[in-house]
Chains A and B, each alone.
Chain A
Amino acid sequence: MVSEATNTRKKSVLWDWLTTVDHKKIAILYLIAGTLFFVKAGLMAVLFRIQLIAPEMEFISGQTFNELVTMHGTLMLFLAVTPLFFAFANYVLPLQIGARDVAFPFVNALGFWLFLSGGILLSISWFFGGAPDAGWTSYVPLASREFGGIGIDFYVLGLQISGFGTLISAINFIVTIINMRAPGMTMMRLPLFCWTMLITSMLIVFAFTPLAAGLLLLMLDRVFDAQFFIPGEGGNVVLWQHIFWIFGHPEVYILVMPAFGIISEVVPAFSKKRLFGYTSMVFAVLIIGFLSFMVWMHHMFTVGVGPIANSVFAIATMTIAVPTGIKVFNWLFTMWGGKLRFTTAMHFAASFVPTFVLGGVTGVMLAMAPVDHLYHDTYFVVAHFHYIIVGGIVLGLLAGLFYWYPKMFGHKLNETLGIIFFWVFYIGFHLTFFIQHILGLIGMPRRVYTFLEGQGMDTMNFISTIGAFMMSVAIIILVINIIYSALKAERVTEKDPWDARTLEWSTNTPIPEYNFAQTPQVRSLDPLFYEKIHGNGEMKPAEPLDDIHMPNGSILPFIMSIGMFIGGFGFISFHMDLFISPYVLIAIGGITFFGGMAARSLQNDYGYNIEKETVESMEKELS
């Protein structure tokens, strides 16, 4: 491929998006895909909440209920929340460290397309004999060939492929943060969102590898009749639980850490104060990251691993409360005495704090091993993790959405509609999940598709379902807001509509493909704010204006992930009656994937240059 030709030729819009390696466009792709999976998983939740609205409902069957619950959890954790955070990370992270792109743009695109093809592979299970139905944890023996349906093969391979995409994106983020920082951006001047993304990416590297190993073993069991997890043949079912939770507990922190990061950006911006205790925040994230690997057994207290093991892991779990407490107090002290502006983003950020604390408190309750025997597998656990996941993670995501929207799309979201959205969502959330604590305490087990009348559970389940409806209404208001703002809202052309503090707000809006015409010189934590006070409000350049070297787009990531998709489907089809042999599918998939890899290695792609004059004229036009 010759470089100039690909640059100057006008590309069609679709081709442009399929081949892009620009971190800003990949971010939008993640945002769209993540939102679609989010809405899909949300609708599933509404469906099974309707089933639970009254005792002995017959809205859906028990089998469908299991499939919906499994897919809800799996989609939300792997295909909605993770990609939505990756969307923000992709967009904001290079900007916050003053870089032109991520370290490996091609790998970035590959990461996205692999994630998407894994997600689609998981989703098409409905058309081939049913979705996975063994819970998002896929415990064996329920998930073994003997008891579990074909859907679980889709679970195994879909997650394997999308997990691979997540893994390479995480490695990319790590390298970007370590190698691509602008001059003067030391590690201790890194914005907190970058810090949390760095730790998150490390957690992904160390946690997704056990997951990949576990999924591989499960695949060998299911597809090739191995017996790792089959007790009758010398296997061990508890081994799966260990492997799953060695991955699974860090996973919940993989989800919550970026939210910590977003809150730590939004709160100082709208308090007009620097983040209280920056250093302690960084160390708190590090410690939480480390500890999250040492507590997986708290999901297995009732398995019967013995009192010493239970005690050790109970205590390890409770210690996480210490660094978490540090973070919470730092957010509060940041707001304390600040000049608060209650924009929608700040509403979400401020309300994050109490709901997250509530989730943490129930977490500590669950961490008391003997008491956990009472709570385990009841709605109390469901309430616990939804206070963390919705009341923490989703609120963080929404704060980030409202905060970064003007940078990403060139206009703000409507604030009035935003605040209405916030209240409807927030009240709906508490209605749905607060009451589930009590449901759990009076003994409603989780993952049952119906309950009997006269056990004191009718009203509370009814309220919970109403809350779920309210949250759906809220999401509709958000959609209306997005459409309305796209049509009506005033275009934002200024660089810094929020009067914010970090480097991403020093770029032009819309951001040119090269981000910064000249790499900025960082002189402090919160570099933009420092320049507002000590300089002229503009970042000083660290290099002369010169030609800018950019990478070419490539269709290969897209093709390679199609190869993965076909190959993955091949492995699943061993237990299906297809007109085509699985071996043929696997061969086609393998050749496509490795062919794409070979093509990438053999081609000489030097990227292209944006000439100095072009940069100058673009900069003049934008400012």
Chain B
Amino acid sequence: MAENLNQPFEESAMNKEEKRKLNREQRIQVIAFAFMIGITILAFLAVGAEGIPTIFTTPFILLLALVQLIIQLYYFMHLKDKDHGWPSSFMISGLVLAAPMIVALIMLLGVVKY
């Protein structure tokens, strides 16, 4: 076995199916990347452009951030692939636990008492 290792490989060890999958994955990564740059530009535009009211900008940017987060986690960090069930469920439970806390803190630490 070992003596074969320093010979150059003539062709890929992957079969057609695997190659196809890899290509697809690559395409997804590139598209996702382009899309993320796109929404980043949108975010800058929303802040920079005149005439867009702040009431709109803040939730809009937050929404874009959420989209970024999902793409980042699921497409770039492969949470969408199979065998990522446990990491996914941990991420989701973290979100489910943290979201009400943040909401409660924002409401309760304000001036108003509920």
Contact = CB atoms under 8 A, between A and B. Distances in A.
B114 interface: yes
Contacts of B44: none
Nearest to B87: A178
A314 to B, nearest CB: 13
B101 A202 contact: no
Interface stretch (B22-30, B62-70, B92-100): B92-100
B97 A239 contact: no
B105 A305 contact: no
A211 to B, nearest CB: 13
Interface in B66-114: 86, 90, 93-94, 96-98, 100-101, 104-105, 107-109, 112-114
Contact of A306 (B94, B96, B105, B113): B113
A290 interface: yes
A93 B108 CA distance: 41
A293 B101 contact: yes
A242 interface: yes
Contacts of B105: 239, 242
A246 B101 contact: yes
Interface residues of B, number: 17
Contacts of A206: 93-94, 97-98
SS class of chain B's interface: helix, strand, loop or mixed? Answer: helix
Nearest to A308: B114
Interface string A226-245: 00000000001011001000
A236 B108 CA distance: 12
Contacts of A297: 104, 108
A202 B90 CA distance: 9
B109 A238 contact: yes
Contact of A242 (B90, B109, B112): B109
A146 B105 CA distance: 26
SS class of chain A's interface: helix, strand, loop or mixed? Answer: helix
A329 B108 CA distance: 37
Contact of B113 (A239, A242, A304): A304
Interface in A187-229: 202, 205-206
A178 B85 CA distance: 11
Contacts of A239: 105, 109
A305 to B, nearest CB: 5
A306 B112 CA distance: 9
A178 B89 CA distance: 12
B87 to A, nearest CB: 10
A238 B109 CA distance: 8
A242 B105 CA distance: 8
A483 interface: no
Contacts of B93: 202, 206, 290
Contact of B108 (A202, A290, A305, A307): A305
A309 B97 contact: no
A236 B98 CA distance: 21
Contacts of A205: 90
A48 B90 CA distance: 43
Interface string A1-33: 000000000000000000000000000000000
A311 B114 CA distance: 10
Nearest to A210: B101
Interface string A284-312: 00000010011001000000111111000
Contacts of A309: 104, 107-108, 113-114
A238 B111 CA distance: 12
A252 B100 CA distance: 20
A294 B100 contact: yes
A159 to B, nearest CB: 21
Contacts of B108: 238, 242, 297, 305-306, 309
A236 B109 contact: yes
A142 to B, nearest CB: 20
Nearest to A207: B97
Nearest to A296: B101
A306 B114 contact: yes
Interface of B: 86, 90, 93-94, 96-98, 100-101, 104-105, 107-109, 112-114
14 contacts: A205-B90, A206-B97, A236-B109, A238-B109, A293-B101, A294-B100, A297-B104, A305-B113, A305-B114, A306-B108, A306-B113, A306-B114, A309-B104, A309-B113
Interface of A: 178, 202, 205-206, 236, 238-239, 242, 246, 290, 293-294, 297, 304-309
The 5 closest A-B pairs by CB, nearest first: A306-B113, A308-B114, A306-B114, A309-B114, A293-B97
